[in-house]
């Protein structure tokens, strides 16, 4: 494979370029080595990223040991937990596009030969994978790893159940102020991504499943030295990939992406993958539709019950054998795709061992016959919507309720905490889609408050926004078309009956079509909430949630 970096290092007319490279500390004898960009998302703002300075050092040592030269540059990150519940969440999903664009710009401007993508949290991992697929150069992803569980006495704690849901429990008088303070202090005890199978950890697992990170990287814990060793080996590996001409699209094939969806369904991962995998696939030149998620879910049994769906933590998955053990259980459902590690997916599965067959169950002893996500359609969501069905109680998988409608998250949250939401209601939060939000905010605060109040078995929630991977209960998102685009969710009124049938994959507003037509004639598009800056540009170019909320090319 011809080195891209030769463009800036070879020839008489590149003397100025070489002079500037020497100014960075590059020795003359290293000028012909592969140039490896170490793309870091280190920041003091995100617990999942605060330890990355040490991982950067490990990666750099690996790159140099492998015969390359490392150049570090940064990309921004948003902590979804800190951005949750206010206007800052509008920037989370749009930051995915920024990250991909920044990596493209820096990599191409400096003719880098390969990339190490040091990532961890929610939108950063898919943004980096999008860039790798778009650039189609050798790349290795190093995910920063999960946080260890917190402790209160002997009870294990996690962020979502023990802080977000604790808000509802405190409002209901189930815990005291002192108990809430203790949970705040103890729920997140270290660096790392939040401890359950939320979006960050789901994407880490799927990155390993699609072959773009080294075996074992997806679940290895942030604070353990194994992560440092994997970072070192990743640095060496990317130089090998450059020398052998193994580019990202040779790994991110359709088979690899379908394997990732299969693993996602079997794990019961975050619904945000319905946005991220299609976006990654698009950059790789592969067409992945929302219907494929449902098709694969129907044939992929759910073999784990990690939080929020169950009580196991990411550390339990790691000690049960990690992703290799998951691949072993799922081998008959997976295609034998290549990986950057060297062994194929089936070879990795064959070499693995399952150490706890309740954390990682066999296909014939699965927690449920179907996978984690279901795609629902009907007159509310003609283009589709998504629900994490494995985190929904059986008592509400078929549910008819009365609509309680809110044009935004904040009034809905106030009503929930003020006790206005009663059993039998379906909270409808609209104008929070990709365009209308803008930015398709996560609704973890409302869904967690409902759970904390003890209403998750008797109240539903529908939105054209999206959910955190930590959401549980009857929560249906990504409703498309969104309200701001004239979708039927914008026609729902207080008191309307809504019928949901997850097993049948249906969701319908029980209002006569003639009545809906009258409402449609009166409907007016809302004024944009944001009229300047990045979010205003994003709102003009973003597509529907069912297509991954990607940016149009023009």
Which residues are part of the catalytic machinery? 468
Helix (H, G, I), strand (E, B) or coil at 463: strand
Strand partners, 306: 312
Sign of CA dihedral 73, 75, 76, 81: negative
Backbone dihedral region of 332: left (phi > 0), alpha (psi from -120 to 50 degrees) or beta? Answer: alpha
User: What is the secondary structure of 117-184 as a DSSP string?
Assistant: EEE-STTHHHHHHHHHHHHTS-EEEEE--BPPPEEETTEEE-HIIIIIHHHHHHHTTSS-HHHHHHHH
Provide CB contacts within 8 A for 323, sequence distance 6+: 205, 208, 209, 215, 216, 218, 219, 263
SS (H, E, C) 471-491: CCCCEEEEEECCHHHCCHHHH
Strand partners, 375: 386
Report the alpha-carbon distance of residue 504 to residue 286 in Å, rounded: 29
Spell out the alpha helix ranges (H) of 271-368: 273-283, 290-298, 314-319, 322-330, 345-351
Report the alpha-carbon distance of residue 439 to residue 206 in Å, rounded: 24
- Judge whether 309 and 374 are in contact, CB under 8 Å: no
């Amino acid at each position: 494979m011809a080195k891209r970096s030769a463009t800036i290092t070879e020839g008489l007319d590149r003397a100025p370029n070489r002079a500037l490279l020497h100014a960075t500390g590059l020795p003359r004898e290293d000028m012909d080595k592969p140039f490896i960009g170490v793309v870091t998302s280190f920041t003091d703002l995100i617990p999942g990223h605060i330890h990355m300075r040490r991982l950067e050092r490990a990666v750099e040592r690996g790159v140099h040991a492998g015969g390359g030269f490392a150049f570090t540059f940064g990309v921004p990150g948003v902590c979804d937990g800190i951005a949750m519940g206010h206007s800052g969440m509008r920037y989370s999903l749009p930051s995915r596009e920024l990250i991909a664009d920044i990596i493209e710009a820096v990599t191409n401007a400096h003719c880098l030969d390969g990339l190490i993508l040091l990532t961890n949290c929610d939108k950063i991992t898919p943004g980096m994978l999008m860039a790798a697929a778009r650039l189609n150069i050798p790349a290795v992803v190093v995910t920063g790893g999960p946080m260890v569980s917190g402790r209160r006495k002997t009870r294990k704690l996690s962020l979502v159940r023990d802080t977000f849901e604790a808000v509802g429990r405190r409002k209901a008088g189930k815990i005291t102020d002192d108990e809430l303070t203790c949970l705040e202090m103890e729920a997140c005890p270290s660096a790392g991504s939040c401890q359950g199978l939320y979006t960050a950890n789901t994407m880490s697992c799927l990155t390993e499943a699609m072959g773009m990170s080294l075996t074992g990287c997806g679940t290895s814990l942030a604070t353990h030295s194994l992560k440092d060793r994997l970072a070192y080996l990743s640095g060496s590996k990317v130089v090998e990939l450059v020398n052998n001409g193994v580019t990202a699209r040779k790994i991110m094939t359709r088979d690899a992406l379908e394997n990732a969806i299969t693993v996602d369904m079997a794990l019961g991962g975050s619904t945000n993958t319905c946005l991220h995998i299609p976006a990654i696939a698009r950059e790789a030149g592969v067409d992945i539709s929302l219907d494929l998620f449902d098709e694969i879910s129907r044939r992929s049994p759910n073999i784990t019950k990690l939080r929020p769906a169950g009580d196991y933590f990411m550390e339990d998955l790691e000690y049960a054998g990690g992703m290799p053990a998951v691949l072993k259980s799922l081998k008959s459902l997976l295609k034998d795709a290549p990986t950057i590690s060297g062994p194929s997916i089936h070879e990795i599965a064959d070499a693995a061992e399952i150490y706890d067959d309740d954390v990682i169950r066999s296909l014939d002893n699965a927690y449920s016959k179907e996978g984690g996500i279901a795609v629902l359609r009907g007159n509310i969501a003609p283009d589709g919507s998504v629900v994490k069905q494995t985190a929904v109680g059986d008592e509400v998988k078929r549910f008819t309720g009365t609509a309680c409608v809110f044009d935004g998250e904040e009034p809905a949250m106030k009503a929930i905490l003020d006790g206005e939401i009663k059993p039998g209601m379906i909270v409808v939060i609209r104008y929070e889609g990709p365009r209308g939000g803008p930015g398709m905010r996560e609704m973890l605060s409302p869904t967690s408050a409902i759970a904390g109040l003890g209403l998750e078995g008797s109240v539903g929630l529908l939105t054209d926004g999206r959910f955190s991977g930590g959401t549980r209960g009857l929560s249906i998102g990504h409703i498309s078309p969104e309200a701001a685009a004239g979708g039927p969710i914008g026609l729902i009124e207080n008191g309307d009956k809504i019928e949901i049938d997850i097993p049948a994959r249906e969701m319908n507003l029980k209002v006569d079509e003639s009545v809906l037509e009258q409402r449609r004639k009166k409907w007016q598009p809302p004024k944009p909430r944001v009229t300047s800056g990045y979010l205003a540009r994003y709102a003009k170019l973003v597509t529907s949630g069912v297509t991954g909320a990607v940016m149009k090319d023009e």
